[in-house]
């Protein structure tokens, strides 16, 4: 019998799974790290990923490189199943909703900033129209 060789972890697949779990589309992640969507697709198909690219991807996914390298899909599925089993009984349904407060604050800030930018544009338009009337 030939000796068993250790399976090489497929980093590209791990990146793809983590990206999917986080709900990030391929084109969005690609844009965040400054590459094309097709380049990211190729990275996700490769077992080995350049350390520099892996660091960029880890930062974009808000993880560290070691978390990506050590990610185990089967352990993750087991964890989800255990959470599901522990949170549900025969007659009730429990929903676990987690949110990131920093993300919510950031979302609120972006909406407020957009609103202020719209107000500034509107005031600029009013000033332009008034100056045009005065010149006439």
Q: Give me the CATH number covering residue 38.
A: 1.10.260.40
Which value, in Å, is the radius of gyration of the alpha carbons in the chain? 24
8 Å CB contact between 56 and 19: no
* CA gap 107, 109 in Å, rounded: 5
3-state helix, strand, coil in the chain (%, to 5): 70, 0, 30
7 within a domain of the structure (yes/no)? yes
Q: Which of 61, 51, 50, 52 is nearest to 15 (CA)?
A: 61
Encoded tokens for 136: 């006439």
72, pLDDT greater than 90: no
61 within a domain of the structure (yes/no)? yes
8 Å CB contact between 46 and 57: no
48 within a domain of the structure (yes/no)? yes
* pLDDT value, residue 71: 80
111 within a domain of the structure (yes/no)? no
pTM: 0.53
38 within a domain of the structure (yes/no)? yes
Domain residues for the domain of 31 are 1-73
32 within a domain of the structure (yes/no)? yes
pLDDT tens across 15-67, in order? Answer: 998 898 888 999 999 999 999 999 999 999 998 998 999 999 999 999 888 88
92 within a domain of the structure (yes/no)? no
DSSP for 40-78, written as a single string? HHHHHH-SS--HHHHHHHHHHTT--HHHHHH--HHHHHH
* CA gap 101, 58 in Å, rounded: 21
136 within a domain of the structure (yes/no)? no
Domain count within the chain: 1
* CA gap 130, 136 in Å, rounded: 10
6, pLDDT greater than 60: no
């Amino acid at each position: 019998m030939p000796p068993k060789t250790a399976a090489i972890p497929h980093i590209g697949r791990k990146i793809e799974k983590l990206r999917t779990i986080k709900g990030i589309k391929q084109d969005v992640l690609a844009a965040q790290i400054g590459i094309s969507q097709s380049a990211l697709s190729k990275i996700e198909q490769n077992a080995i990923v350049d350390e520099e690219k892996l660091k960029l991807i880890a930062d974009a996914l808000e993880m560290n490189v070691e978390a990506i390298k050590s990610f185990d899909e089967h352990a993750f599925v087991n964890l989800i199943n255990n959470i599901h089993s522990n949170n549900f009984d025969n007659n009730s349904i429990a929903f676990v909703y987690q949110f990131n407060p920093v993300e919510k604050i950031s979302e609120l800030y972006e909406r407020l900033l957009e609103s202020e930018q719209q107000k500034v544009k509107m005031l600029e338009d009013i000033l332009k129209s008034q100056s045009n009337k005065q010149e006439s």
